[in-house]
Structure 1
Amino acid sequence: MAAEMPLRRAAFLDRVKERGKYDNRSEADRAARVVLALLGAHLVGEARAQLAARLPEDFALILLNPLQSAEPLSPERFVRATAAWIEGATEQTATWDVSAVLATVADAADEDLLDQILLQLPDGYDLLFGRPRPT
């Protein structure tokens, strides 16, 4: 299995910016940093390491050195936590932020890796990644 090249930082941020309809890359960067820090607290082992290998280096480091989470957050609580970390965010804007970042992350992962990631997360994250799974 050939290792995939990590996305370049500019390409990653451009995808987040486009999906999130942000005015500039710095807004996309802020959303990506918060969402990846929260996501990293939920992932362990090989899945986290493989995902980090596919992200631009600074975002990989955030994923690998996450914010601490006492327990896995439901998708709703993940969105609320994101809103709490982004100045001026509401739950509605945070849902947008989370979806823009996680859909871009899903693009960087292949289906097998995404399945491994979703197995580590509470039900409902498939929708945040923009990859609904049959129930």
Structure 2
Amino acid sequence: MSMRREAFLAHVQDRGEYGTPEEADRVARVVLALLGAHLVGAVRAELAARLPETHALILLNPMQASEPLPPERFVRATAAWIEGATEKTALWDIGAVLSTVAAAAGDVLTREVLVQLPPGYLLFGRPQHV
């Protein structure tokens, strides 16, 4: 059962403390495009099936990554794609989106997603103030 777009964005907006759903959407698109490049096969398809259609399509048609990004490079790449972002704000943005993705996916699928990522992805928890 996929999450409705409004519910998904409300969740991201709430977790990331964004002013508008549009801001939450902009951040979600960047993070999902980067995440999608790291996932393959049934896991990516199953995760996409739990997301709203517009966001599922981003996950399924990602930017091509030449190699899986370790967490710190994932953060740096996110910061590069979000206007005005720093690594610290990007980390927050990633937490807001991926904790929402994890909630939509459930524990079992989230574990399967983590298996496909380089080690050290602690980004599926709530965003942390540092």
Deviation, 1:83, is 0.4
Indicate the SS of the match to 1:128.
coil
Gaps spanning 5+ residues in structure 2: where?
Answer: none
Equivalenced residue count is 126
**TM-score (ref. length: structure 2):** 0.95
Instruction: From 18, 24, 30, give the equivalent of 2:26.
Output: 30
Q: Would you identify which runs of 4 or more consecutive aligned residues in structure 1 move more than 3 Å?
A: none
RMSD: 0.9
Counterparts of 1:76-115 in structure 2 under 5 Å?
Answer: 76-115=72-111
**TM-score (ref. length: structure 1):** 0.91
Partner of 2:125: 130
2:107 maps to amino acid = E
**Aligned mates of 1:19, 1:124 — CA distance in 2:** 21
**Aligned mates of 2:88, 2:113 — CA distance in 1:** 24
Q: Give a deviation string over 1:39-70, Cα, whole Å, max 9, x none.
A: 00000000000000000000000000001111
**Aligned mates of 2:3, 2:89 — CA distance in 1:** 25
Deviation, 1:111, is 1.4
**Aligned mates of 1:55, 1:106 — CA distance in 2:** 10
Indicate the SS of the match to 1:93.
helix
